Chains A and B, each alone.
Chain A
């Protein structure tokens, strides 16, 4: 799957790179959906001998290929929420020299990055690579509810039902972009939704 080039944006918007294998005592690789391809691109037998892969397929068929890399530990789970306690355990058990690799959707990378930051790893030391869906994890600034996998702008908050526009302003702490009511000054006047990058 070809990689999406995000347009230039404001300073709070995350920028993703390309994963590269780094020397490390251990490797924690967390990915969802097409993020598996980024792992397949960099995996070596040496790395895999010390690797823990946590994968959320989201309907994509990469699980067997990842398993075939023979990582020291492998987990595939249905959602990030289901994998979350395992991710926290892996991070809290981590020793100096752990390398963290995140790939896939922005929502997956943002949440896993936040978990790693909470464990004391600076966000600048975490590698990321975007693959697959360009959907966003959005926080409604009004009710504070998170809506996952938002592909259109504006969208309806899954919690309070307000019509929200999709900002580029991003919080690492919340692992979410900000959604703000679009028709506050003219209730009911909501432009037709289109893809975020259309």
Chain B
């Protein structure tokens, strides 16, 4: 299908909207009626047609607006994009991976022409047509990682692999769930995850690291993660927390359906060929409660998950104060009927909400 790109904002007047198409393909993150941390990895080898899993780098109706928002964040705070000196080659690897993937997966939107190291890249939605020399930084307006991540939705962490660990040594991070690249750059896997509660004790990070260290070229992996955000704000950074934190207090029983968003991260992991680095794209999808409730299965399940979530997790994810109001709202969409396994909406097989 040809994608109609929305003219919308993720700040100020928050004109962001999901079409019916976007709602039905929303990556609902709960495969059962409860949630606890796990190393929920699977191979990233496509998925159902039209789903966010289908392509290597999903492009949707929010693409152009998200890239506009990223440019604004980077203009305000250039420290959101940083690359330690030894990571430039990994940046070229990433540029290649994204250009090849997008031109193959979306030939109507992106084109890549290669003649040796002389490349031409055409990005139709953003109106870009650049010729450059691969591996020659002087031929691009930005470093390779910054250049390509200004044209790809989601945050990108580029992880160096050494000493049996992964190191957060480069990234473009403007749509993050409250963590700072500028603070965490240079940290290893355990250090940048240090503030996460419960998961260390459960051995999650030891197992996850073991898995990630062994990811091979051509065999990417993926998982979902989630949190909650009031208003469709992409830039929930700690840098700006003193500005956006107050928005959490604007939720009322009347506006919660429209303002409270489930924020889902599609995290993927690709080995990069020249640098042996690992790129960790974190793609953020937002959907407000009232749109989620149009899928009866998701309404039932979200209520049960939020109700039963351990207090530490609700605190860490930043919605402990609003949880009672969320539950008042969500309980109206839970009629107690069982739900089917898996994350898919199952609109044809799940019963409508009982009156």
Contact = CB atoms under 8 A, between A and B. Distances in A.
A54 to B, nearest CB: 24
A96 interface: no
Contacts of B242: 142, 162, 181, 184
A184 B245 contact: yes
A194 interface: no
A139 interface: yes
Contacts, number: 65
B187 interface: yes
Contacts of A142: 238-242
A181 B248 CA distance: 15
A10 interface: yes
B187 A184 contact: no
Nearest to A162: B242
B78 to A, nearest CB: 12
B182 A144 contact: yes
Contacts of A12: 187, 190-192, 194-195
Contacts of B186: 171-173
Contacts of A167: 195
B180 interface: yes
Nearest to A10: B194
A171 B79 CA distance: 15
A105 interface: no
Interface residues of B, number: 27
Interface string B190-233: 11111100001000000000000000000000000000000000
Contacts of B36: none
A67 interface: no
A185 B249 contact: yes
Nearest to B178: A180
Given A162-B242, A180-B238, A13 B194 contact: yes
A191 to B, nearest CB: 16
Contact of B180 (A141, A168, A185): A141
B185 interface: yes
Nearest to B249: A185
A185 B190 CA distance: 29
B183 A139 contact: yes
Nearest to B195: A169
Interface of A: 10-13, 139, 141-142, 144, 162, 167-169, 171-174, 178, 180-181, 184-187
